Structure formats: C-alpha cells, structure tokens
C-alpha cells in the first residue's frame, strides 16, 4: 500500500465488548472514517439507515453478493452482514483510514483479500463482565444473550489470526491503546523507501 493511501483497520471482538463505543471515539479524528455495513437485521431503536448500517432486505443482500459488491460478508446471529467494497476502496484512495467493526469471520476474509489490513481484537476483561454488559444494554432477550456469549468464546479462539489485542476494561485506556496502534502503523517504514532516500540525497547535493 502506498504511503498516501489510508489504512484499513478491522476491529473485532465479542458482541458487547464495546467495539461501537471505541469506534465512535476513534472516529472523532477526521482522518478516520467508519465503513457502514449492509445488514438484513432489523434496526434497533435509535439506529438510522446509512449511519449504523444500511438496512436491506434478504433479496437485496443476495443481489449484492451476486454482484460481488462485498469486501467480505458473513452470517452473524442469523442475519447477513457485509462490507460494501467500493465505498471502502474510495475512502482509502482519498487517504482516509477506514475502520471496520466486523466479526471474526469477516476479519479473516479481509486479511485474505487485503493482507495490509490491520486486525485489532477487542477483548472483554472477563466473560462475566461481558454478560453484565449485554444484560445492561437491554437490547437482547436472555436467549439472545446466551447465543452472544457462546459466540464470544468461538470468536476468542481466533485471536491468534489478529495483529493486536486490546482489553476493554477502562474505556479511556482501550481507546488510547487503539490510537497507539494506529499511530504505530502510520509510522511503519513504507514498502517503497526510494523516495525517502532520494529526498535526503537531493538535500545533500543542495538541489
Ligand atoms: P450488531 O447486530 O450487534 O450490530 O452486530 C453483530 C455483529 O456483527 C458484531 O460482532 C459486528 O461486529 C458484526 N458486524 C457488523 N457489520 C459487519 C459486517 O459488515 N461484516 C461482518 N462479517 N460482521 C459485521
């Protein structure tokens, strides 16, 4: 990836770990943009079409799969979720960092398609903490909470495929950890180092 392009960051982790809150903090920096996913799930109270998700019908989602419009897609909790490819590529081209809040199945697909993507795994301090966060959120039935807790363990098993892990115990600390990862990635030596060397050579020659 050339230096002028933005970077792609995937944030995964069990539902209820606080990915949404952390992403909102990270997105206060105008260099970072969120990738709005498409989903077949029903909007929750307060969610807006085009802001949290593009809420579409099952048919529309399948149509987008057939047109190869997704960078990745997966079935999560009986619904389809997918990352619209063109929107992400355009944002990267404009030099923006793009943040994907997607599940592990999606994260692994992104790594396959774009190996330069940076994968961050957000962990809850414990399963008990995760359960109480899901209960306090009050958006899910007890049955759905059990489903999400089971999926949490399934997801954590894939942590070895990720580049970084952040434990979300104290929110401010987790946000600062994610920011540090983004800064470190921005400071990586780029693949093409010649322009950097040239710049110093020219300076030495007084050009
Ligand atoms: P929720 O229904 O709570 O908004 O999201 C459920 C799960 O789906 C979360 O783990 C979230 O990260 C994941 N998710 C959201 N959008 C996408 C997407 O585009 N692709 C994939 N693979 N997962 C997604």
Half-sphere exposure of 97 (CA within 13 A, CB side): 22
Which ligand 1 atom is nearest residue 52's CA? 4
**CA of 168: how far to CAs of 26, 41, 104, 129, in Å?**
14, 26, 17, 10
Which ligand 1 atom is nearest residue 104's CA? 22
Protein residue with its CA nearest to atom 3 in ligand 1: 15
Percent of the chain at pLDDT > 70 equals 98
- Structure confidence at residue 4 (pLDDT): 65
- Structure confidence at residue 3 (pLDDT): 47
- Structure confidence at residue 199 (pLDDT): 96
Which ligand 1 atom is nearest residue 35's CA? 19
Looking up tokens 């359960």 gives 131
Q: Is the pLDDT of residue 182 over 70?
A: yes
Average pLDDT for the chain: 94
Instruction: Spell out which residues line ligand 1, taking CB within 6 angstroms.
Output: 15, 19, 37, 41, 72, 74, 76, 81-83, 101-103, 105-106
Which own/partner pairs from 181-187 qualify as long-range (CB within 8 Å, at least 24 positions apart)? Answer: 181/9, 181/118, 181/120, 182/7, 182/9, 182/26, 182/32, 182/97, 185/7, 185/9, 185/118, 186/7
Centroid of ligand 1 to alpha carbon of 75 (angstroms): 9
- Structure confidence at residue 5 (pLDDT): 86
Which ligand 1 atom is nearest residue 77's CA? 6
Q: Is the pLDDT of residue 139 over 90?
A: no
SS3 63: helix
pLDDT digits (tens, 9 = 90+) for 50-98: 999 999 999 999 999 999 999 999 999 899 999 999 999 999 999 999 9
Cα torsion through 171, 152, 157, 38, rounded to 10: -90
133: left (phi over 0), alpha (psi -120 to 50) or beta: alpha
Protein residue with its CA nearest to atom 17 in ligand 1: 102
């Amino acid at each position: 990836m050339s230096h002028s392009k933005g970077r792609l960051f995937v944030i995964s982790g069990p539902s209820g770990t606080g990915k949404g809150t952390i992403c909102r903090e990270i997105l206060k920096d105008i260099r970072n943009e969120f990738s709005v996913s498409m989903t077949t799930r029903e909007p929750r109270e307060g969610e807006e079409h085009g802001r949290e998700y593009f809420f579409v019908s099952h048919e529309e989602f399948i149509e987008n799969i057939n047109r190869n419009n997704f960078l990745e897609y997966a079935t999560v909790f009986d619904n389809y979720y997918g990352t619209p490819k063109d929107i992400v590529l355009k944002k990267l081209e404009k030099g923006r960092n793009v943040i994907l809040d997607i599940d592990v199945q999606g994260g692994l697909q992104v790594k396959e398609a774009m190996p330069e993507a940076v994968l961050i795994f957000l962990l809850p301090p414990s399963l008990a903490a995760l359960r109480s966060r899901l209960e306090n959120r009050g958006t899910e039935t007890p049955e759905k909470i059990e489903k999400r807790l089971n999926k949490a363990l399934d997801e954590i098993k894939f942590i070895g495929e990720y580049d970084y892990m952040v434990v979300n115990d104290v929110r401010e600390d987790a946000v600062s950890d994610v920011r540090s990862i983004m800064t470190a990635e921005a400071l990586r030596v780029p693949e093409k180092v010649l322009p950097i060397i040239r710049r110093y050579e020219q300076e030495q020659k007084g050009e």
